[in-house]
Structure 1
């Protein structure tokens, strides 16, 4: 079974959904990242004019869009720097596929979206997030890398800056802060908040409104407006070698091991 399911939501409009389907929380290991990159390519090749990125629906599972990189898997690679490099490269390749996608992509964020999950959402054109059915347990989104000892690459920082502003992005990034859906909407990190069962349909509606416009003008304007998104995900602005050096720092390893210990409890 594919780790990313491609669904045709609207054959007439050419709107497809890409559903991340690696239970339980869509942790981004190389297999899922590679499947996502390939799904973007395949859907566009099959005629998609707009894409919805969402988590597979699991009524009895945790509400998670993507929990970010699969840290236990990454730690299991130990000192094998080449395999670690390949794992992170797969993630950034998947993010780049979304950032540079030739058709609009709406993120239907139907659950928590920390770290890598937030990066994928930021690479999309538009972000619609679910409101938690339990107001005492709101869904959250953000780049919390500093809390586990990782610095956020400059290119990823740019993605956050372009939607919430430079000063606010600095505050969120340095603190590694996750925000709830209401705050995410207030600061522009997400564009809309809707009930859980409306996230994918609303993403469909937003794409349909774009696809009803004169297409040459819409596509060219989008291409110009989003040129910085694709540029931000280019390798020079990720500085992967520097990132990998920091990964192996004792303080970072200690923070990552502590994270895994918390996840296992």
Structure 2
């Protein structure tokens, strides 16, 4: 089986790198392996995890051409469920996870980053956000909650309705990411932040973290995703037209 998640240990921290060229598009295999890699890291007793991508793209989000090729509703539902399982694995991870956003992070890439404890992004013309409306999709309530949690209710509404992807400098100003650094140093800076956190008393940090992140975990509860409703909307003519326009644009 092709390994799509690279594992690198840095002392008490394990870096998990999305490794599906060219843009780390999230298909079920990537998502399944990410869940497995998180579980393995926790079982190994790591103090924390760095989730990275690159080069120049952290993750371009869901593999839309793959999804459009699924004619069976059950297969489509299973693919989306696996993505949400990956998001939940990050959100419920019992140890801190830092997103090393070394490049663009639209749509599903942004969702994964929002599920992490801290976000370090490459400084420069790299964009992040939830652009679902631009391709004919409606972000589920639970995903909208993740955006509101990061940037506040009104700013989240503006970004979600417009589907705007913002450059890293604006993302920092609005709280969508926590700090910027040069693209080559993103994983290193993420590692340094996590190392500093791990110097604090472990049990109080983890207990406080669990309380602070309860709303994040709740946001991703299946009741707030309503996956069956989402799958029904997937076949709406407006949605299909938007998705196929995206695929045509990517093919140019």
Tell me if 1:197 matches 2:184: yes
CA contact (8 A) 1:77 1:83 kept: yes
Name the SS of the counterpart of 2:8 in structure 1. strand
User: What's the CA shift for 1:209?
Assistant: 1.2
What corresponds to 2:120 in structure 1? 128
CA distance in 2, matches of 1:3, 1:114: 19
Q: How does 1:228-243 map to 2 (within 5 A)?
A: 228-243=215-230
Which stretches in structure 2 are left out of the alignment for 5+ residues?
none
What corresponds to 1:211 in structure 2? 198
How many residue pairs get aligned? The number is: 251
Equivalent of 2:82, from 86, 90, 105?
A: 90
What corresponds to 1:135 in structure 2? none
**TM-score under structure 1 length normalisation:** 0.93
User: What's the CA shift for 1:125?
Assistant: 0.2
CA distance in 2, matches of 1:256, 1:216: 46
Tell me if 1:226 matches 2:213: yes
Which stretches in structure 1 are left out of the alignment for 5+ residues?
133-137
Q: How does 1:43-122 map to 2 (within 5 A)?
A: 43-55=41-53, 58=55, 63-78=56-71, 80-122=72-114
CA distance in 1, matches of 2:6, 2:46: 14
**TM-score under structure 2 length normalisation:** 0.98
Tell me if 1:27 matches 2:28: no
**Root-mean-square deviation over aligned CA pairs:** 0.8
| 1:38-78, Cα deviation, whole Å (9 max, x unpaired) | 1100111112110000015x4xxxx1000000000000002
CA contact (8 A) 1:6 1:43 kept: no
| 1:229-251, Cα deviation, whole Å (9 max, x unpaired) | 11111111100011001000011
